[in-house]
Structure 1
C-alpha cells in the first residue's frame, strides 16, 4: 500500500511540473484563486521556477511587469526577472539572453499584439524562447496580446457583432509558436465568434481557437489541449468544410462556410489536436 501511494504521488507531481504552453484569453484572475497563474508557476517548476516576464506589449511595461513580478513572487517562484524591452536592440541584451537560456518559464503579458511582434519578431531573444518552448524545455504563457501572437498567422484587429465577412478581421504575421492554430482572445466577452469565423474562412487549414477571459487553453506536450479557468474555449475546425465563397466575396459581403465543426469546451475538457476530437 505504501509503495502504491508513493508511485501515485510521483505521477501527480510529474504531471504538475510538466512543461506546457498556456494560451490565456486575458483578464485572468489575479486576486482570488489565481488558478491559471498558479498553474503556470507549477508547470514552470513551482518553488524552483525561474520565470521571465516580457511586458513589452503594454504601453506601461514597467507597471505591468512589476504587477506580475509581485504575483509570481507571492506564489513562491525561486527567481523572477522582468525582461523590460523597449526597442529591438533591447532583445539582444546579453543579460536577458543568458536568463532565457536558463529559465524554466516565460510569461508574455497583454497589450498590443502588433507592438509585441514589432519589438520581438525574429530577434535573438524571441527566437530562443520559441525554440525552447517548442522543445518542451520551458513553459510559456501568453495572455491577451500574448495569446494572439502564438500562431504563424495572427488576428491583429477587427470588429464584432456582424456576420462573418472578409472586411471584419485584420490579419498579420504572428510569432509562429503554435503554427497550426489561429487564436482570438476576450472571446465571448467581446462577441468575437464572427471575427474568428472570418479568419478561419481565409485560412481553413488552421484550427480556430477562441478563448474567453479568465480562461486558458493549455497545450500539452502530448498533443492535447486542456481547458482551465471560468470560461469556455471555442474550437472552429474547417477540415471538413465543403464550400466557401471566400475568394468571390467582396468587402462586407457575408461569407458562406459550409460544414464547419464547432466545439465549446468547458473546464477540464480536452481536445486532441491529432484526431481533431474533443474529449470530456
Structure 2
C-alpha cells in the first residue's frame, strides 16, 4: 500500500509540473484517435493471455471447459482487477470456472502457472529490451525512491516463489512432462502479448513525440506492466504502472509532459480495452440467452 501511494504521489507531481502541456497533448485529435485504436487492439491481444490460462486448465482437466467458455469467463472477470487488492479478477475467474465444472486442481495449477510464467515473460522482455533504460532510471530516481526498487525486488521474489510452487504442484499432479510444453506455449503467448502491448505504447509515443527506440519502448512497457502487477494493493496496477512508465520514458529521452501523457493514455487504453472485452462477452451472453 505504501508503494502504491508513493507511486500515485509521483504521478500526481509529474502531472502538476507540466499540467498545461500534458492537457494539450491528451486532447490532441491524433492522440485521442491513437487511444481509441489502441484500446481495440488491446482487447484483441488480451485474448493471448486468456488462451494461455486456458492451456494450463487443459493441462490437468483436458478440454472439458472449452476454449469459448474459457475466453468468456476471462473476459467477464477482467474488469474485476480494478477493485481493491489487484487480485479480484483471479478470484472471480476461479469462482466462475469452478462453477462451470473445472476442478480445483486444474484451477490451482492454472493460477500458479499463469503467475510464474507471465512474470518471467514480462521480466525477460523488460531485461532484454530495456535494461540500459532502467539502469538510467534507477540512477536518476535512486534507491531512495521505493516504486522501482520494491517493485523489481517483489517481481523477482514472486517469480521464484511461484516457480517453486509450480514445480511442486506439477509433481503432485503427475503432469511434469506435459507441463514443460504447456509452460513454453504460455511463455510464447505472454511474450507476444507484451510485444503487442509494447507496440501500442510505441503508437501512443509516435502520436505526440518522435523519441524513443521501438525495442526500448516495448521493454519499458513490459517492465511497467510487471511492476504494476506484482505490487500489492494497486487495483490494475493503478499509479504504479504509470510511475514506472514515466520513469522509463523520461530515461529514454522523452520530455516529462510527453512521458506523462503517454502513461495516462496507456491507462485509458487498458481500461477501455478491458471494458470492451467485458462488453463483448456480455453481448454474446445476452444473444445466446435471447
Q: Which has the higher helix share?
A: 2
**TM-score by structure 2 length?**
0.26
The structure with more strand, counted as a fraction of residues:
1
| TM-score calculated relative to the size of structure 1 | 0.27
- Greater RCO (CA < 8 Å, at least 6 residues apart): 2
